[in-house]
Amino acid sequence: MDGLMPRGRYTSSALILTGGGARAAYQVGVLRAIAELLPAAAPTPFRIVCGTSAGAINAASLAAASNDFGRAVATLESLWSRLCIGDIYGADFLHFIQRFGRWLLSRVSTSPRHSPGALLDNAPLARLLSREIDFAAIRKGIDEHFLDALTITASSYRTGMSVSFCAVSDEFPLWQRSQRIGVGAEIGTAHLLASSAIPFIFSPVLIGDEYFGDGAMGQLAPTAPALHLGAERILVIGAARTGNKTNDGPDAGFDSGRAPPSPAQIGGHVLASIFTDALGTDLEKVRLVNIAARQIPPERLAASPMPLREIALLVITPSIPLETLALAHLDALPLLLRLMLGGVRGIRTGGAGLLSYLLFESAYCKALIALGYQDAQERREELIRHLSVAASTHPGA
């Protein structure tokens, strides 16, 4: 908890949106439920917005319309509801075969001409982000005091550091620790592409003189950017069930006869480890600090040389396994990708974890949005209590 803002500085509420590929559509449903709790045209109830991987795309879109939270959420819902795989990565037969051949060649060749490639080309995503997000409006929202900070986290391939690119008000100090750093930046398409560049699936992104990849890789403390910027109230919207990975039970992911896990199962577990393990550990740490803070008398807490404080924490994650939901929408997957995933046993029960991350299709995304909305409605009273202080003190309220 070191490096937090000094006591006496203005502190606020934060929204943390984690990664998960196509699963991030779930976050939009939760956000829609939150928007319904606010007055029409109300500004964002979150002074700090932090995004990682696919959650970074949602975070930037929200920050670009911080003066009208309902409009920002409606824009996000429209985007995810009409999404197709071709908007994210090239999926036509010729394109995919060329890309796959290049990827295989990069794995076996020692020639410097054959630099490490990626399985999928996310150039369509770059065009989508440039078209759909008004990046200049992020700074405008900060200058007009609707927002204090937007952070987008990516992993540096040069240093191994978790780098949080921060569009932030000048009065907020940034940070540097052994495994993480906050740096000032005007957020743009490159930052979102870098944060969501899943290893081997999407190419690393050059920012300055460093290459960056998916922000979830080295992010040991997903809540750290919000805490460093002074948040006292944090809402985390995840894209996987906390404490669960890619199956319903201890044996659900494995074929009968004790067969070894399929390549799709292994890929799904790797992605689950990247996107969920650090979050669960970090949330447990915050809860333990809260317990410790409650045991310390207020006068001693105020005199502590370390700015220790209790954090109001609310976490919303999917109530059902998203693998099951993905399998129900398998027919929406282009034939080529269906054949590819079928070859690694990724379109059957137990192997659909990988599918749930890559199925950027409107029917599946709409189902995720509906699930997020339903889960948030079931936590409605908790959301009202969590947001009440932030809403009542927001300068635009």
Residue-wise over 137-170: b if at least 16 C-beta within 10 A, else e? bbbebbeeebbbbbbbbbbbbeeebbbbbbbbee
Structure tokens at 96: 């995919």
- Distance, in Å, from the CA atom of 152 to the CA atom of 338, rounded to the nearest integer, reads 32
Residue with tokens 């920050």: 63
pLDDT for res 5:
37
> Are the C-beta atoms of 238 and 314 separated by less than 8 Å?
no
pLDDT for res 331:
76
> pLDDT digits over 346-376, tens only?
455 555 667 788 889 999 999 999 999 999 9
Across the chain, where does the E strand assignment appear? 12-17, 48-52, 149-156, 162-168, 180-184, 205-207, 210-213, 231-237, 312-316
Contacts 24+ apart (CB under 8 A), 164-171: 164/50, 164/224, 164/225, 165/191, 165/207, 166/225, 166/229, 167/63, 167/138, 167/139, 167/142, 168/142, 168/229, 169/142
Which of 274, 123, 89, 279 shows the shortest CA–CA distance to 198?
A: 274
**307-333: average pLDDT:** 83
> pLDDT digits over 70-114, tens only?
999 999 999 999 999 889 987 665 666 665 566 566 556 555 554
> pLDDT digits over 224-273, tens only?
899 999 898 999 999 876 554 444 433 344 444 466 665 555 555 566 66
pTM of the model: 0.83
List the beta bridge partners of residue 149. 48, 168
The highest-confidence range among 21-25, 237-241, 304-308, by mean pLDDT, is 21-25
DSSP string, 295-306: HS-HHHHHH-SS
Residue with tokens 């921060």: 166
Q: Phi/psi at 201 (nearest 5 deg)?
A: -85, -45
Give Dmax (Cα) for the chain.
Answer: 68
**319-324: average pLDDT:** 87
- Pairing state between β 149-156 and 210-213: antiparallel
Q: Where are the alpha helices (DSSP H) in 109-223?
A: 123-132, 136-143, 189-195
Which of 328, 53, 16 shows the shortest CA–CA distance to 194?
A: 53
| HEC string for 316-366 | ECCCCCHHHHHHHCHHHCCHHHHHHHHHCCCCCCCCCHHHHHHCCCHHHHH
pLDDT for res 255:
47
Which of 227, 222, 261, 254 shows the shortest CA–CA distance to 239?
A: 222
> pLDDT digits over 166-196, tens only?
999 877 889 898 889 999 999 999 999 999 9
- Pairing state between β 48-52 and 205-207: unpaired
- Distance, in Å, from the CA atom of 51 to the CA atom of 131, rounded to the nearest integer, reads 19
- Distance, in Å, from the CA atom of 214 to the CA atom of 217, rounded to the nearest integer, reads 6
Is residue 101 helix, strand or coil? helix
More confident residue, 125 or 355: 125
pLDDT for res 339:
58
- Distance, in Å, from the CA atom of 375 to the CA atom of 372, rounded to the nearest integer, reads 5
More confident residue, 131 or 258: 131
List the beta bridge partners of residue 231. 12
- Distance, in Å, from the CA atom of 392 to the CA atom of 227, rounded to the nearest integer, reads 21
